[in-house]
Structure 1
Amino acid sequence: MSRRIALTFLVLTTVLLVLAVVPLGVLMTARERVSFRDDQQAATRVIAAAAEEHLSDHRSAAAMDKELHAAAEAGDCAAVYDGSGRLVASTPCKAAQGEEADELVGRVLAGHEPEPPQNEGRLLAAEPAGDVRQPAGAVVLARSAAPLDARIAAIWGWSAGIGALGLAACVLLSVRLARWVSRPLSTLDAAAHRLGEGNLGERAAVDGGPPEVQRLATTFNTMAGRTEALVHGHRAVIADVSHQLRTPLAALRLRLDVLAAGARGETAAELAAAQVEIARLSRLVDGLLAVARAEQTTPRPVAVPVAEVVEERVAAWAPVAEERGVRLTAAAGPAPAAALGGGHLEQVLDNLIANALDAVDDGGRVTVARRVVAGRTAELRVVDDGPGMDAEAKEVAFHRFGNPEARGSGLGLAIVHRLVTVNGGTVRLEDTPGGGLTVVLELPLWTRDSTGPRSLPVLKER
């Protein structure tokens, strides 16, 4: 924005200066030329008047010689011609003689208005001595054009200087104006970006800049405050309710266990079903607590050895997979270090492997593969050959309770999405070739720049 404002003012000022300075310079140049020509014509007439007394009245040539001497001292060249065009007298300088001078004399003696030429850097002027119709002679005066050229150069030099000064002032003022307008907008944009990344305590500065921008910053701060209150309230409610539910659920489960120990027949079956529902409700409460903790996480990244974590979690889940008749393996691949919060990759893999084992039937297969993409991200794929998901289910898979047909709590993928995105990664769902579902994680690689604090991205529910 600053550049556009400055360029706009610069172009506008340039156009105005060209429209104002150039015509003024042309006008002043023309006036200087006319003034120079008038002075030269006046000096020529003075010599012509003295020459007329000598040529027409046959008086002494002293006055004519005096004027010629004065012209010579002034740096001019002059020559006096009689009525037949013969040279009568002249200054030591010969610039008023020659072909151009003879042509001027001929036109003056014929009663025509001469067109003064320029000869070797000098302007020639001719005047009749006596009556214009029947002149007794003619006077040619050659004057150096250097003073005229110097004055014209000074005019254009001053014009260019004024124009440059105007452009410099325009650039200075436009840059200051652009910064005055754009700096608070840039600050507001940066604050909005940080707020969008999850830093809910971010606020914009309201001092400086136009009043409209200050009002915008105030409105932004009000919106940010309300958003922070809503999000924190939402998280607090989930965490508090989940925490408060755990105690009565544990007590209820213990009572059901006591009752089931002595029950027989149909009563025992009903109590067993109740115990299953209580276990499911407990997993749901635990999932809500996990979501609340994940949403409140602002991790400081550490170097996480992806290969070691994958092999460790696969080994930890291997007994469960073996019990269900599912083959769980970790495919060979590179061993990069990802920049993640401590313990986050373990939680992510636990949720994904648990979901995959729940989805795969006896005899199925779950594979965890890894690779490095373009030297920038570590890619993990959790591949199963279960029933997969349709397009509609994929759209809401990362929502809390987004899939009503999920066998578990419906919170596992929401937790995964939150933990991945909070670390600057991405997660998506793809179909497994031949049937099944593939969860693709793209995690940032560990670099020297990965040690600083990270902002908190907002959970984008897809």
Structure 2
Amino acid sequence: MTRRIALTLLALTTVLLVLAVVPLAVSVTARERVAFRDDQRAATRTVAAAAEEYLSDHQPPDAMRRELDAAARAGDCAAVYDASGRLVARTSCTAAQGDEARELVKPVLAGHEPEPPENEGRLLAAEPAGEVRQPAGAVVLARSAAPLDARIAAVWGWSAAIGGAGLAASVLLSVRLARWVGRPLSALDATARRLGEGTLDERAAIDAGPPEVRRLAATFNTMAARTEALVHGHRAVIADVSHQLRTPLAALRLRLDLLAAGAEGDDAAELAAAQEEIARLSRLVDGLLAVARAEQATPRPVSVRVDEAVRERVVAWVPVAEERNVLLVASPGDALHASMGAGHLEQVLDNLLANALEAVPAGGRVTVECRAAEASARVCVIDNGPGMDADAKAAAFRRFGNPQARGSGLGLAIVHRLVTANGGTARLADTPGGGLTVVLELPLRQDGSADRDRGR
């Protein structure tokens, strides 16, 4: 962001400098040219006035000679022509003679104002000697354009220097402004990222940047403190509930076991049913605690090899599948690295496989696939069991969302919480031919290395 702010301000300043300096330099250049021409014409008229006394009043040529000498000392070349276009007098240089000079003399003697040309770095000017309509002669004065070029170069040089100084000042100010605004925001972004990764004690600095950024950082710190307190409070509640519920349940189960050891007949059947209810209640408490932990999960992402995790969990669950006469296989998949909390993918797969093996009847099949999607690792757990209707799928990720579930009804809720906490998605689809498919989209690793290690 710092670079974008600096470049934006620099571009804006450059445009403003160009719009201000270039027209000013063009205007000053035009004024210099006009002033140079006017000065040249004034010098030409001075010589023409002295030449008129000689040509029309038949005065001695002394005054004309003095003006020609003065023009020569000033670095100009001048030539005087009579009414017939004949050269009468000139300076020692010949730049005011030749074809171009005579082309200027003709319209002057005819009573017109010629357009003076520029030839080899010299400017020519022609003025009538006497009346404009009936001149007694004409004067041509050639002046070097070097002084004009030098002044124009100086104008553009100063303009470029002013523009460069303004641009340098703009670069300095824009970089400082961009850093003043951008650094606190970048630090706040990094702090928010670490907080999202599970470092709950992260706080942003509030002593740098504009007032709005400092207020934003202070508000963020307040939010982070409340989030930390809330998460720690929930974790404490979970720990307390875990202790307060499991201990009496364990004691109750032990007493029932002791009573069942000496019971007979109807008493033994009733105690066995009570033991089953206690076991069911224990599983329900464990499931609720697992859901609560998943909801409060603030994972610190690590690189997880998805295909290897799938193969390991399938191998671990194969004995359970064989005991239930269900075929459990893992299809060969892409070698992908996902970014997830440590152990979360294994927990998700365990819940999905437990649900699938519970739902699929004997002789059924459960397949786990792993392949690359556009920007994620896609894991699919496919079974050919009874499946779910649309209403059941819509509520499956909520606690006890599926009233027809054989277990606690919390497995998919745990899966959904863990996957979404890691930035992924979970959805349910129908298996072609019957059954249920759970599709997980897991975030790929973003550390600059290849996300796909095919063939490893």
TM range (shorter): 0.7 to 0.9
Residue equivalent to 2:396: 397
For 1:440 and 1:230, the matched residues in 2 are separated by: 31
- Indicate the percent of aligned positions where both proteins have the same amino acid: 73
Looking at structure 1, the residues matched to 266 and 257 of structure 2 have their Cα atoms a distance apart, in angstroms, of 16
The question of whether the paired residues in 2 share the 8 Å contact of 1:47 and 1:139 is answered with yes
Counterpart position of 1:458: none
Does the residue aligned with 2:126 lie in a helix, a strand or coil? strand
- 2:320 is aligned with what amino acid? W
Q: Could you give the per-residue CA deviations for residues 187-209 of structure 1, whole angstroms, max 9, x where no partner exists?
A: 32333344344443333222321
1:105 maps to 105
Q: CA deviation at 1:137?
A: 2.9
Which secondary structure state, in structure 1, belongs to the residue aligned with residue 154 of structure 2? helix
Distance 2:444 2:223 in 1: 35
Change (3 A) 1:35 1:226: same
**1:177-223 CA-partner distances (Å, limit 9, x unpaired):** 23322332233233334434444333322232110111011111111
The AA in structure 2 aligned to 1:398 is F
In structure 2, relative to structure 1, the CA distance for the partners of 1:244 and 1:309 (3 Å cut) is same
Q: Does 2:441 align with 1:438?
A: no
CA distance in 2, matches of 1:318, 1:165: 79
Q: TM-score, length-normalised on structure 1?
A: 0.81
Could you tell me whether the CA contact under 8 Å between 2:197 and 2:298 is conserved in 1?
no
> CA 1:423 to 1:133, structure 2 compared with 1: closer, same or farther past 3 Å?
closer
Matches within 5 A, 1:242-321: 242-263=242-263, 266-291=266-291, 295=297, 298=300, 305-306=308-309, 309-318=312-321, 320-321=323-324
The superposition leaves residues 31-66 of structure 1 with CA deviations (integer Å, 9 ceiling, x where unpaired) of 212221222123223323433443345444344334
After superposition, the C-alpha distances for 1:368-406 in whole angstroms (9 at most, x for unaligned) are 434443799776543332222233433443344443443
Q: Which residue of 1 aligns with 2:151?
A: 151
Q: Give the superposition deviation at 1:176.
A: 2.7
Q: How does 1:20-31 map to 2 (within 5 A)?
A: 20-31=20-31
Give the SS at the match of 2:78. Answer: strand
Q: What SS does structure 1 have at the residue aligned with 2:84? A: coil
> Does the residue aligned with 2:382 lie in a helix, a strand or coil?
strand
- Give the 3 Å change call, closer, same or farther, for CA 167–8 of structure 1 in structure 2: same
Structure 1 counterpart of 2:224, one-letter code: A
**Could you say which residue in structure 1 is the equivalent of 2:453?**
none
Separation in 2, partners of 1:137, 1:308: 111
Contact 1:306 1:335 in 2 (8 A): no
Residue 80 of structure 1 and its aligned partner are, at CA, apart by: 1.1
Residue 116 of structure 2 corresponds to residue 95 of structure 1: no
Q: TM-score, normalised by structure 2?
A: 0.82
Per-residue CA distance 1:399-442 (angstroms, 9 max, x = gap): 44443443222332344445556677654433222222223456
Mapping of 1:26-105 within 5 angstroms? 26-105=26-105
The answer to whether structure 1 residue 208 and structure 2 residue 211 are counterparts is no
Pair 1:327-2:330 in alignment = no
The 1:122–1:172 alpha-carbon spacing in structure 2 relative to 1, beyond 3 Å, is: same
Deviation at 1:142, TM superposition (A): 1.2
Change in Cα spacing, 1:245 to 1:87, as seen in structure 2 (3 Å) is same
CA 1:308–1:110: 2 relative to 1, 3 Å: closer
Shift of 1:366: 3.6
Say whether the 8 Å CA contact 1:195–1:202 is kept in structure 2: yes
**Secondary structure of 1:309's match?**
helix
Determine the C-alpha separation between the residues in 2 that align with 1:445 and 1:42: 83
1: distance between equivalents of 2:11 and 2:135? 59
Aligned to 1:118: 118
- Cα 1:121–1:282 change in 2 (3 A) is same
1:49-86 deviation per Cα after TM superposition (whole angstroms, max 9, x unaligned): 43344334544434433432332343322111223332
Pair 1:2–1:338, CA change in 2 (3 A): closer
Of 430-439 and 220-229, deviating more is 430-439
How far 1:244 sits from its partner (Å)?
1.4
Tell me how far apart the structure 2 counterparts of residues 165 and 374 of structure 1 sit (CA, whole Å).
53
Could you tell me which runs of 5 or more consecutive residues in structure 2 were left unpaired when the two chains were aligned. Answer: 450-456
- Counterpart residue number, 1:456: none
In structure 2, C-alpha distance between the alignment counterparts of 1:307 and 1:136, rounded to whole Å: 112
Contact 1:50 1:63 in 2 (8 A): yes
Runs of 5+ unmatched residues, structure 1: 451-462
Q: 2:385 — aligned with what?
A: 386
Letter in 2 for 1:98: G
Aligned-CA RMSD value: 3.7
Q: Distance in 2 between matches of 1:6 and 1:332?
A: 52
